[in-house]
Amino acid sequence: MKTRKYFGTDGIRGRVGEGKINPEFVLKLGWAAGRVLGNGDSGKVLIGKDTRISGYLFEAALEAGLVAAGMDIRLLGPMPTPGIAYLTRTLHASAGIVISASHNPYYDNGIKFFSSSGTKLPDEMEKAIEAELEKPLVTVDSANLGKAVRVEDAAGRYIEFCKSTVPHHLDLSGLKIVVDCANGATYHIAPPVLEELGAQVTVIGAEPDGFNINREIGSTHPEALQQAVLQNQADVGIALDGDGDRLIMVDHTGAIVDGDGILYIIARSRMAHPDGLKGPVVGTTMSNLGLELALKELGVELQRTDVGDRYILAALDANKWVLGGEPSGHIICRDRTSTGDGIVAALQVLAAMVMSDSSLRDLSMGMQRLPQILVNVDLGKTLPAVIMENDQVQKSVKAAEVTLGNDGRVLLRPSGTEPLIRVMVEGKDAPLVTQLANEIAETVKRMTAA
């Protein structure tokens, strides 16, 4: 199978001005995408972005390329990634384009696409776009050029959708909530969603300036949220990332509830519903063993995929299952929406709290996170396959697995973005887990030096 030249597992991403994240390439990308998505006819494509400064640059470049290919544009402005997916579907667009580097710093940016159904583009379509990129850019006749129009009510539409994912009678008026918008795309979405459902809301990370997105704030830096929850004596804290597709929560004591804990709470809540939970919960190879054991107590199976929400979504759709996610906070409620959505996932947890009259801490206590140690080993110039297939490395892994027995897991995998081998060991005994992870890592280091 031919590999993709430009597209990674989540679109095209990198440092602004370097590699393919430059205006010349992005203009050509817009044109190539327009050629494929329009299939020779005019169509409608939505463009949304997060709050980083380079969004203006790449919005203009994409607009020019798409219009040159004869596509009409609907500009959404700053909008969470899952909001763009939703609007692509409900506005019957040919595709949606997101300008975002998610949880990365402001100096990175990226481009990712949604299909007309609000899901990620099929591999075949990405390959077709790459094929067009190899051709010279030819502008359609002036009579067939596309037009660009701004969607003025984009935020309002998405706010109403988010509220519709919980029971219409849900009342959050008894809850004090701190929400951290990471100075990103949810700054004008998440606060009104919660306020309109009745919550008393304190907002942090909602003053984007183009440069402060994800800077020491948001789901990758929950320390600011922990402090704000304690200072405000709040019931719960919600931390989103720059484009709104990740969620980390904080209980009233300041303790973090990560994606695994959130998955457990939503699964348990769904089990209490008359319709129950359809099928297993989908996690990844990095999902904590504690989640697997807690779900087993509920009579629910955990199915693991490779790391990446793309693979989780593929498993959900292939089997018509409804719930999956990652420890990082990518939570997909497929019975509510078409992609990972931090706001929607948070609302499911808040609904569970209200309907069970329980605190977030109480709900999360049903899952005990097992000690998990991750050690990254620099490969240098050694190929990952050489290490993965090495007899000494495999012997070290097997020895650790025998030591852990049924009370732990060992995972060895190459990084998809850096020259690293990631060694993960988890189990019930923290000192033993640390010892085994370091022993395997030392074996990998020796083999890279050999």
pLDDT tens-digit readout, 62-101: 999 999 999 999 999 999 999 999 999 999 999 999 999 9
pTM of the model: 0.91
Q: How many CB atoms lie within 10 A of CB 382?
A: 18
| Interatomic CA distance for residues 319 and 46, integer angstroms | 29
DSSP tag of 279 = S
The stretch 302-326 carries a mean pLDDT of 94
- Per-residue tokens: 317: 């759709």
421, pLDDT greater than 80: yes
Q: How far apart are CA 66 and CA 448, in angstroms?
A: 47
Rounded alpha-carbon distances, angstroms, from residue 55 to 203, 269, 397, 440: 24, 38, 45, 43
Per-residue confidence at 3, pLDDT binned at 50, 70, 90?
Answer: low
Q: Tokens representing 376?
A: 């990254």
What residues does 425 pair with on adjacent strands?
A: 373, 410
- Which of 163, 14, 29 is CA-nearest to residue 100? 14
| Residues facing 108 on adjacent strands | 15
**What proportion of the chain, given as a percentage, has pLDDT over 70?**
98
The per-residue pLDDT for 43 is 79
pLDDT attached to residue 74 = 97
Whose CA is closest to 335, among 282, 294, 261, 260? 282
Q: List CB contacts of 311: < 8 A, sequence separation 6 or more.
A: 284, 305
Per-residue pLDDT averaged across 345-353, rounded? 98
Q: Would the CA dihedral through 424, 425, 427, 433 be positive or negative? A: negative
pLDDT at 372 over 50: yes
Q: What is 372-449's CATH topology? A: TATA-Binding Protein (3.30.310)
Over residues 363-382, the mean pLDDT reads 92
Give CATH 3.40.120.10 domain extents, the chain: 12-154, 174-257, 258-341
Place of tokens 């008359």: 274
Residue intervals in the chain for CATH 3.30.310.50: 372-449
pLDDT, position 42: 65
Residue with tokens 């959130």, as numbered in its chain: 262
Q: What is the CA radius of gyration of the chain?
A: 23
Beta bridge pairs of residue 111: 12, 99
Instruction: Identify residue 450 by its one-letter amino acid code.
Output: A
Instruction: Report the amino acid identity of residue 351.
Output: A
Domain 174-257 belongs to what architecture? 3-Layer(aba) Sandwich (3.40)
DSSP 337: -
102 is catalytic: yes
Percent of the chain with pLDDT over 90: 86
* Contact of 130 with 6, CB cutoff 8 Å: yes
Q: Is the pLDDT of residue 2 over 60?
A: no
| Residue 387: exposure state from Cβ atoms within 10 A (0-12, 13-18, ≥19) | buried
pLDDT on residue 9: 73
Task: Give the up-direction half-sphere exposure of residue 67: CA atoms within 13 A in the CB hemisphere.
Answer: 16
- The predicted structure's pLDDT at residue 41: 60
- The residues, any chain, with a CB within 8 Å of residue 430's CB and separated by 6 or more, are 371
Facing residues of 427 across strands?
Answer: 408
pLDDT of residue 6: 87
* Whole-angstrom distance, CA of residue 320 vs CA of residue 68: 39
CATH number of 12-154: 3.40.120.10
Give the model's pLDDT for residue 240.
Answer: 98
CA dihedral for 386, 388, 394, 397, sign (positive or negative): positive
pLDDT at 272 over 90: no
Q: Are 99 and 109 in contact (CB under 8 A)?
A: yes
Question: Mean per-residue pLDDT for 300-307?
Answer: 94
* Exposure b/e, 9-22, CB count within 10 A at least 16 = b: bbbbbbebeeebbb
Q: Tell me what the mean pLDDT of segment 129-146 comes to.
A: 96
Assigned fold of 258-341: Alpha-D-Glucose-1,6-Bisphosphate; Chain A, domain 3 (3.40.120)
Q: Encoding tokens for residue 54?
A: 């380079």
Average confidence score pLDDT of the chain: 94
* Phi (first) and psi of residue 179, to 5 degrees: -120, 130
- Helix 259-272 crosses helix 342-356 at what angle (to 10 degrees)? 50
pLDDT value at position 384? 87
pLDDT of residue 208: 98
The active-site residue out of 102, 269, 287, 364 is 102
Tokens of 100: 């975002």
| Sequential DSSP letters for 209-260 | -SS-TTTT-STT-THHHHHHHHHTT-SEEEEE-TTS--EEEEETTS-EE-HH
Give the helix/strand (H/E) hosting 109: strand 108-114
Give per-residue pLDDT as tens, 198-249: 999 999 999 999 999 999 999 999 999 999 999 999 999 999 999 999 999 9
pLDDT tens readout for residues 6-58: 888 778 999 999 999 999 999 999 999 999 998 656 679 999 999 999 999 99
pLDDT tens per residue, range 185-205: 999 999 999 999 999 999 999
